[in-house]
């Protein structure tokens, strides 16, 4: 299976609720990045967490990284309809910009 693989779930939540997505990977990494994609458009970078970091926040986003379990989670708090998108995690295992992406998690936020 692929490096950087999200739990294959589609989330449907009400506006205001929190959304959590998970990602697992198989090899050692330099960093892990989360991206958002709306309707097959370009990827928007959300947050990067380095291998020596355990948690990072950016606005309503919280990312955790557990290198012992080779997993990461993305939490979106107080979701909004505009958060409706596909979310991808991507790992940089070599430090040479070769990102390995997961399959993506589709999140639908119902107004």
Query: What residues line the site for other proteins (CB under 8 A)?
Result: 2, 30-31, 33, 35, 40-45, 48, 50, 88, 90, 92, 95-104
Could you tell me the smallest distance in angstroms from the CB atom of residue 17 to other proteins?
Answer: 27
| Cβ distance to other proteins smaller for residue 13 or 31 | 31
Number of Cβ within 10 Å of residue 32's Cβ equals 27
CB of 31 to other proteins, least distance (A): 5
Token pair 């990102």 is at which residue? 99
Minimum CB separation of residue 26 from other proteins in Å reads 16
Rg (CA), the chain: 13
């Amino acid at each position: 299976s692929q490096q950087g693989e999200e739990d294959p779930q589609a989330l449907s939540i009400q506006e205001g609720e929190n959304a959590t997505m998970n990602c697992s990977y198989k090899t050692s990494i330099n960093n892990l990045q989360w991206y958002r994609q709306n309707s097959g458009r370009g990827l928007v970078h959300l947050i990067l967490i380095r291998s020596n970091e355990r948690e990072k926040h950016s606005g309503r986003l919280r990312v955790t990284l557990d290198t012992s379990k080779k997993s990461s989670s993305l939490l979106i708090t107080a979701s909004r309809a505009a958060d409706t998108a596909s979310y991808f995690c991507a790992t940089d295992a070599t430090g040479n910009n070769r990102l390995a992406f997961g399959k993506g998690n589709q999140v639908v936020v119902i107004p």
